[in-house]
Amino acid sequence: MANVYYIKCRDVGVEYDFEARGSSIEAVIELCAEHGSREHGMQAFSPQFYARMRQCLRVVEEEATAKPDP
């Protein structure tokens, strides 16, 4: 099993259905930054917003999907 990190816009108070998932906190934060820029016109996140995002991140364990042998 592997940890998967995720967050939704709604978790940080933005009424939007976007959800970011990744194998690391940094990957999820990067997806959020790209989404914030593209969909919400955000140029940058304040240190307080980054801290809020980190507080709202959730971690779930997901089973790794094994690829069958050829």
- Pick 63 or 23 by higher pLDDT: 23
Structure token digits, residue 45: 């996140």
Mean pLDDT to the nearest integer, 51-61:
89
Q: Model confidence over 37-53: pLDDT tens digits?
A: 998 888 888 899 888 88
Q: Model confidence over 4-20: pLDDT tens digits?
A: 999 998 998 888 899 99
- Pick 15 or 69 by higher pLDDT: 15
Full-model pTM: 0.74
pLDDT over 80 (residue 70):
no
Name 3's bridge partners.
Answer: 61
Please tell me what DSSP assigns to residue 68: P
Query: For the CA atoms of the chain, what is the radius of gyration?
Result: 14
